[in-house]
Amino acid sequence: MTDLAHSATRRRASFGGWLIADRQRVQTVVTLFVLVLMVVVFGLINGRFFTVTNFQNLARNTAPLIISACAMTAVMVARGLDLSVGSVLAASSVVAASLAVKGVPLPLAFLGGLVFGGLIGFANGWIIVRMRVSPIIVTLGSLNIARGIAYLITPSAILVGLPPRWSDIGTSNLGPFPVPILIALAVVAVYAWISRRTKFGKHIYAVGGNEEAARLSGISVDRTLIILYVLSGVMAALAGIVLSTRVGSGDPNIGIGFELAVIAAVIIGGTSLSGGEGRILGTVIGAVIIGTLSNGLNLAGVEPFWQYVAQGMVLIAAVVLDRRVNEQVMRLGARS
Amino acid sequence: MTPAAEPLAATPLLRVAGLSKQYPGVRALNEVDFDLVPGEVHCLIGENGAGKSTLVKIIAGAQKPDRGTIEVRGQKTEIQSPRHAKDLGLAFIFQELSVVNGLTVAENVVLGSEPGSAGRFDKAAAVATTRQALAGIGFDSLDPNARVGTLSTAEKQAVMIAKALCANADVIVMDEPTSPLEEQEVQKLFAVIATLKAQGKGIIYVSHKMREIETIGDRVTVFKDGARVATLPRSAISPRELIRLMVGRDLGDIFPAKARTPGRAILEVRGLSGARIHDVDLTVRAGEIVGVAGLVGAGRTELLRSIFGADPVAQGEIRVDGERLHANAVRAAIRAGLGLVPEERRAQGIVPVLSVFDNVLLPWNEFPASRRFKGTPDAVASRAIDSMSVKTPSLAQRISALSGGNQQKVVVGKWLTMNTRLLLLDEPTRGVDVGAKREIYRIIDDLAKDGLAILLVSSELSEVIGLSDRIVVLNGGRVVGELPGNASEAAVVELSMIHGLGASTGSEA
């Protein structure tokens, strides 16, 4: 314990030293700054931004993004990528909805959706590691396949005849907190715990940071990757259930472009595209930035099409800003 | 170094017998016998492709032998996988250090066998184990919580050794462990190896460097063409004999005689300063080889790159043949007759997917006729390849299919297609076997004799001394002295280490 205390005081000795000890910290501080700035600006533009109802809305709308982005962070830290999440979200929610329409009890219907997502994730992971195909190609394929399945289940129409309690998860509150954000926070907690406090978490970073080192250390790289893709599929399905119970339907058109928002959130949050680096906390901030952006622009009455432009610009700006700040901080660190 | 007791009595930690491995078209390993006893350093030596790496890969569980037996501590076994090798107590420290930069020292040391129950990672236990292992090899000062990405190569190696100890390995295989290290770091590694020997570990030490083998080897096994040529005891180790066994002929002195006469000054550098170099003055004459010595981080590579315009120059003047060279512009440098052979051949020297022809003509294609050697592309490429005596089936061969030595000759050769007057050579023989090294030395000497000015950087001191007419010593980015080409290694080391280490290392304050 004395050791821990010792290193803590030594680190606290200088904020700069603490900051540059870990590249990720700089990133987190920068993104947090961007988020605060956005909140302040939106608050000034529209008085309705700072209301409980709006924050509840924001939380409800951002929850699916946070859920899927946590899983994507782990996949990307292990140097993978999952482009299929948007389609898996749609297909899983359609699976769950069609089961519910057929009279299957709701919990089982939801479970069916999650299992479906997991199966797609397993197929992704299995083909990537066993057939040695690049994750971009495999998940680009399953993006189309899952979207196709969604339309096949509900041919070009929105499912009707859902049981009345279908919307419970997406629309109810626990105290002042919308249930979707509570689910998202639970996912965040689990992923943060996995990545920091478990052996599996260390293996994720090892696989992404130096796959050969991981293999030589006796880690099963294939198994690690497959598990991560399965989890990504399950989390996309969970995001789909949260989203479709909020809108109250089983719509095969939902989640188009969702994968790009998820990847943007992960990258804004500081996860390296080349693997080995990344934090759940950063991703959460990244997801909230994207959520806040569309919420704030909506309130400000900006046309939806402009929101795409804004989202793209924020993604690029966040990465550029991070790189600049990092260079500066490192330079100062080297000089001091 | 403590001379070990004659390793005879104990059960071998590892014994292989009749080991053979055939790859398509190549007999990589042919009836090889080898053993390792507790408390010995057993060196493996041989040219690239002689079979050392294949043997190591089989022991590591990365390859399966076609025939032959492996015994670990007297138990016959077949090594199935890297995991199995680890469980058998075999550890490997490869040149490409298998560390994960994003994890901490402790996380790396216990990677794959983390402490903690039911999937939980027990950080305190990991830190304690790591601290103990590091203390055992004299690296107490290394913080188990530090990120491995922030460590030096020597420290990363220590992490790998600590990892081997934590896995209870008693056979530790080191593949060229000193090539990325500084002289004093090498000494520290040798001290660690002595500690490991005292603990009864067996060490298989793969190296090209004769001096190291003389220093720490208890036995040496020489490989040639996939077969074991000889295993010599410590008393019989001599560099000349080893080279004769490896190459199958007596190479004599591997450095050409220094019979060159320097002419007019080609390169004049005055007060050059950049990110890692400070106020450097330097002159290289036609027909002269000037060596640059100094520790890793002394600014050697940065000096070459700054002259070539590849690294930013803040101040100073570079003149080529009396004419002032525009700084910070690679194209201007090439136009003025400069050529750089960079440190990392694969990453910076060649374009692996292109042919030998396309690689050798890379600069030639980019510049007007006035700046390059006259002739048709075919004639120019053939001439460069011939004068470098590159061994390739044809010019259309993909360069990645050539050996390291031949790739390097192509990298040098591409500057012979231009009107090159000054060659900047950065580690020209890194990762090249002894036979090819000797050839590259001869070529460098020939080029200088033909009137080229050559500025040479190498971390192998013997190379700098063996080739150079003058040696410039860098320390902390500054020139701290100049020695004649016949200086002793001790003199060079003294100059590069003793001078006060200036501002460059003071990041603590």
Is there a single domain that holds both residue B118 and residue B49?
A: yes
Task: Give the closest of A198, A215, A334 to B507, CB-based.
Answer: A334
User: How many residue pairs from chains A and B have C-beta atoms closer than 8 A?
Assistant: 78
Is B254 inside any structural domain?
no
Residues A210, B101: C-beta atoms closer than 8 Å? yes
Residues B102, A208: C-beta atoms closer than 8 Å? yes
Q: Does B121 touch chain A (CB under 8 A)?
A: yes
Describe the crossing of helices B404-413 and B434-449 by its angle, rounded to 10 degrees: 10
Q: Which domain holds residue B113?
A: 14-247
**What per-residue confidence (pLDDT) applies to B251?**
52
Minimum distance, in Å, between the CA of residue A132 and any CA atom of chain B: 18
Closest CA to A135 of A75, A195, A224, A87: A75
Q: What is the dihedral of CA B194, B198, B202, B204, to 10 degrees?
A: 10
Closest CA to B110 of B96, B97, B124: B124
DSSP SS3 for B212: helix
Q: Which of A301-310, B28-37, B429-438 has the lowest mean pLDDT?
A: B429-438
pLDDT in tens, A101-111: 999 999 999 99
Residue of B nearest to A7 (CA): B145
Domain boundary among B420, B441, B463: B420
pLDDT in tens, A42-59: 999 988 999 999 999 999
Residues A210, B98: C-beta atoms closer than 8 Å? yes
Is B6 inside any structural domain?
no
Domain boundary among B420, B450, B467: B420
Where are the extended beta strands (E) located within B55-211?
Answer: 67-72, 75-77, 90-93, 171-175, 202-206
Residues A333, B100: C-beta atoms closer than 8 Å? no
Residues A206, B111: C-beta atoms closer than 8 Å? yes
Q: Does B17 touch chain A (CB under 8 A)?
A: no
**What per-residue confidence (pLDDT) applies to A330?**
66
Is B405 inside any structural domain?
yes
Task: Give the closest of A199, A209, A334 to B100, CB-based.
Answer: A209
**What per-residue confidence (pLDDT) applies to A6?**
44
Is there a single domain that holds both residue B143 and residue B41?
A: yes
Is B256 inside any structural domain?
no
Is there a single domain that holds both residue B197 and residue B326?
A: no
Is there a single domain that holds both residue B75 and residue B172?
A: yes
Minimum distance, in Å, between the CA of residue B497 and any CA atom of chain A: 22
Is there a single domain that holds both residue B195 and residue B80?
A: yes
Residue of B nearest to A212 (CA): B98
Closest CA to B305 of B455, B464, B482, B118: B455
Confidence of residue B2 (pLDDT cuts 50, 70, 90): very low
Is there a single domain that holds both residue B161 and residue B275?
A: no
Confidence of residue B7 (pLDDT cuts 50, 70, 90): very low
Is there a single domain that holds both residue B239 and residue B332?
A: no
Mean pLDDT of chain B: 88
Residues A214, B100: C-beta atoms closer than 8 Å? yes
Is B361 inside any structural domain?
yes
Domain count, chain B: 3
Is there a single domain that holds both residue B27 and residue B76?
A: yes
β-strand partners of B174: B93, B205
Is there a single domain that holds both residue B415 and residue B427?
A: no
pLDDT in tens, A180-198: 999 999 999 999 999 999 9
Query: Given strand B265-274, what is the order of strands in its sheet?
Result: B280-285, B265-274, B313-320, B323-324
Residues B121, A202: C-beta atoms closer than 8 Å? yes
**What per-residue confidence (pLDDT) applies to A107?**
96
Domain boundary among B420, B435, B457: B420
Is there a single domain that holds both residue B160 and residue B278?
A: no
Confidence of residue B507 (pLDDT cuts 50, 70, 90): very low
pLDDT in tens, B105-161: 999 999 988 999 889 999 999 999 999 999 989 899 999 999 998 888 889 999 999
Is there a single domain that holds both residue B197 and residue B173?
A: yes
- For residues B154 and B158, what is the distance between their CA atoms, to the nearest angstrom? 6
Confidence of residue A21 (pLDDT cuts 50, 70, 90): low
Q: How many CA atoms lie within 13 A of B401 on its CB side?
A: 11
Is B9 inside any structural domain?
no
What is the arithmetic mean of pLDDT over A4-13?
44
Residue of B nearest to A334 (CA): B507
Identify the CATH number of the domain in which residue B113 sits. 3.40.50.300
pLDDT in tens, B288-344: 999 999 877 789 999 999 999 999 999 999 999 999 998 889 999 999 999 999 988
Chain B, residues 129-158, CB within 8 A of chain A, namely 143, 145, 147, 150
β-strand partners of B233: B219
- B229 φ/ψ angles, rounded to the nearest 5 degrees: -85, -45
Is B403 inside any structural domain?
yes
Residue written as tokens 């890379």?
A: B362
Is there a single domain that holds both residue B102 and residue B167?
A: yes
- B72 φ/ψ angles, rounded to the nearest 5 degrees: -115, 120
pLDDT in tens, A122-162: 999 999 999 999 999 999 999 999 999 999 998 766 677 88
pLDDT in tens, A226-248: 999 999 999 999 999 999 999 88
Domains and CATH numbers, chain A: 63-321 (1.10.3470)
Q: How many CA atoms lie within 13 A of B182 on its CB side?
A: 18
Mean pLDDT of chain A: 89
Q: Does B96 touch chain A (CB under 8 A)?
A: yes
- Angle at CA of residue A314, ends A312 and A316, nearest 5°: 70
**What per-residue confidence (pLDDT) applies to A17?**
66
pLDDT at A296 over 50: yes
Is B201 inside any structural domain?
yes
